[in-house]
Amino acid sequence: MVIGLVGGQPMPFYLGVQPMSQVDQLLDQFLQAAVTNGVTGRVELADADAAGGEADEDAEAELPPLHQAAYDAVERGDWTAAQQAYEQALREDAGDEQARLGLAQVQLLERTSRMDLTAVRQAAADRPTDVQAQLDAADLDVVGGHVEDAFVRLVDLVRATTGEDRDRVRTHLLGLFDVVGSSDPRVGKARSALMSALF
């Protein structure tokens, strides 16, 4: 599993071995997401080396303690500790957008960490109206960088379901919006499609 970091927050990148052409496309999408989230500019490697790594230490020190704890937990693969840190950050500041985004991303990583990619894909293909199979496939789509595919899959499923199933799919899709970030244009487009599917 490869995870990118935007502003110190983990962001799903892709699962498994990918061909270099696909990695290049995913990297371009990741950099676009970074710019969308206000991360711009470049670090000159020569300057960083000359500083003896001090720039990295300063960047780490800028993270609030609970965010740092979550980041460290993600590096260890300890999803529970990461979630607890982000949840505590949100209890202390309900408006902490980075904690909300980080929590959604960690929850996604935990859900997908035990999935069998081939089995999930096959189940989704074999059972197009099976809510759980489609939710799992959408999660893997997002982790694999296929964000628009995930959104289209779930919007179509909202159209095909009713009652509790429809509400479950809608809630899951809103959670994936949190993973990607509200400022991402793909989220705005999918929100419009969701509203059209609901009404």
Task: Give pLDDT tens digits for 108-132.
Answer: 888 888 888 899 999 999 999 999 9
Residues 37 and 121 in one domain: no
Residues 106 and 130 in one domain: no
Quick one: CA dihedral 136, 32, 170, 129, positive or negative? negative
Residues 99 and 130 in one domain: no
Residues 87 and 31 in one domain: yes
Contact 180, 142 (CB under 8 A): yes
Question: Mean per-residue pLDDT for 9-17?
Answer: 66
Among 81, 97, 113, the domain boundary falls at 113
How far apart, in Å, are the Cα atoms of 122 and each of 22, 126, 172? Answer: 21, 6, 20
Residues 48 and 60 in one domain: yes
User: CATH number for the domain including 171?
Assistant: 1.25.40
SS3 breakdown of the chain: % helix, strand, coil, rounded to 5?
70, 5, 25
pLDDT tens readout for residues 87-106? 999 999 988 888 888 898 88
Residues 189 and 102 in one domain: no
Q: Quick check: helix, strand or coil at residue 61?
A: helix
Question: Mean per-residue pLDDT for 145-159?
Answer: 93
Residue 15 has pLDDT above 50, yes or no: yes
Residues 6 and 104 in one domain: yes
Residues 58 and 87 in one domain: yes
Residues 95 and 155 in one domain: no
What confidence category does residue 48 fall into, taking pLDDT thresholds of 50, 70 and 90? very low
Residues 107 and 127 in one domain: no
Residues 46 and 69 in one domain: yes
Residues 132 and 99 in one domain: no
Contact 11, 4 (CB under 8 A): yes
Number of domains composing the chain = 2
Among 80, 113, 146, the domain boundary falls at 113
- pTM of the predicted structure, to 2 decimals: 0.65
Domain hosting residue 100, numbered range: 2-113
